[in-house]
Amino acid sequence: MKMYYDADVNTDVLEGKTIAVIGYGSQGRAQSRNMADSGANVIVGVRENGSSWNLVKEDGMTVKTIEDAAKEADIIHILLPDEIQEKVYKEQIAPYVESGNTISFSHGYNIHFGLIDPAEDVNIVMFAPKGPGSMVRRTYEEGFGIPGLVAVERDATGDAFQLALGMAKACGLTKAGVLETTFKEETETDLFGEQTVLCGGITELINAGFTTLVEAGYQPEIAYFETCHEVKLIVDLIYEKGFQGMWHDVSNTAEYGGLTRGNRIITQEAKDGMKQVLSEIQDGTFKKQWADENATNGANLKEMRAAQEQEDIEIVGARLRKACGLQKDD
């Protein structure tokens, strides 16, 4: 494992270069402001008069159309949703990319799966914060940062890795440390983590626990507290102290019960399912399914979202979060 910190970065690497951040969502807004506050020359490319156009101005950033930003930039940092990057790149960015430019990302999806393929004389790099945009910005303002990843897919100019490190430093990541990886490793592990643990796995586990208690006759509000609300408390302990630190901080009863029963829930069948999910990521099955989904304008995704909203745990949870002051009316 190789970690890089502030002292490992050539402080002059971004001097004289213009960085165009394409997109102004959670990550785009945080990363562009951090880099600008660090002294980098940053412009933001978004759809003219779109929803982000005025917000960029209000934040004191320089806003341009995507095409104009791409024309002006030495480094084009693409932070659009995965599903639209290919189209935007081909139509609004690629015509203006010049030899020696750098194309940068915070997720390797479109490069790893061959959806975006810049010319051979262009750098392809990535620096990826391991946290949401709100935390990227908040920790920077607090004088620190969050950990991240850095990778180079193509080094056409001989300094691509230092350019990636330079942006990571300007974003605040090298204060916490960045780990060197590859586009393949970042993409496949990121998708796997989202699907099996962080998003897909944990919501299914929580809902299964909630449903089990409710079907056994317990109050749904109590079931929600026990299987959903307290998840954050446990995850925070694991985040701060690891498994052993978490076990130390919970009761002996909880520790014994968890250590003797957990493997009856996450069985070999569950692990086999994880292996199958990973295989589908590696062989391109998921990429094709996601492309097919987007070809229908997300028809299945919209149906699944609507169904999720009607889940008992969502209805009970919304009521409880409001009653406890954890969720405000929009």
Residue 50 marked ligand-binding: no
Residue 131 marked ligand-binding: no
Residues 246 and 141 in one domain: no
Give me the CATH number covering residue 133. 3.40.50.720
Residue 24 marked ligand-binding: yes
Residues 138 and 234 in one domain: no
Catalytic member of 107, 112, 229, 248 = 107
Residue 192 in domain? no
| Structure confidence at residue 99 (pLDDT) | 98
Residue 311 marked ligand-binding: no
| Structure confidence at residue 11 (pLDDT) | 79
Q: Could you give the number of structural domains in the chain?
A: 2
| Structure confidence at residue 67 (pLDDT) | 98
- What pTM was estimated for this model as a whole? 0.92
| Structure confidence at residue 196 (pLDDT) | 98
| Structure confidence at residue 217 (pLDDT) | 97
| Structure confidence at residue 328 (pLDDT) | 61
Phi-psi bin for 328: left (phi > 0), alpha (psi -120 to 50), beta?
beta
| Containing structural domain, residue 139 | 3-181
| Structure confidence at residue 51 (pLDDT) | 87
Residues 170 and 203 in one domain: no
| Structure confidence at residue 325 (pLDDT) | 85
Residues 90 and 217 in one domain: no
| Structure confidence at residue 163 (pLDDT) | 98
One-character DSSP codes across 180-235: E--HHHHHHHHHHHIIIIITHHHHHHHHHHHHHHHHTT--HHHHHIIIIITHHHHH
Low-confidence ranges of the chain (pLDDT < 50): 330
Distances (CA, A) of 240 to 174, 258, 261: 19, 19, 24
Is 77 part of the annotated catalytic residue set?
A: no
- Quote the CA–CA distance of 82 and 220 in Å, as a whole number: 37
Residue 274 in domain? no
In the chain, DSSP assigns E strands to: 3-4, 18-22, 41-46, 62-65, 75-78, 102-105, 123-129, 148-154, 178-180
Residue 188 marked ligand-binding: no
Distances (CA, A) of 110 to 35, 97, 115, 287: 23, 17, 5, 10
Question: Residue 154 has what DSSP assignment?
Answer: E
| Structure confidence at residue 329 (pLDDT) | 56
For residue 169, list its beta bridge partners: none
Domain stops at, among 151, 181, 211: 181
| Structure confidence at residue 221 (pLDDT) | 96
Distances (CA, A) of 287 to 80, 110, 271, 295: 17, 10, 22, 12
Contact assessment for residue 261 and residue 255, using Cβ atoms and an 8 Å cutoff: no
Residues 212 and 255 in one domain: yes
Residues 161 and 240 in one domain: no
pLDDT tens by residue, 121-151: 999 999 999 999 999 999 999 999 999 999 9
| Structure confidence at residue 21 (pLDDT) | 98
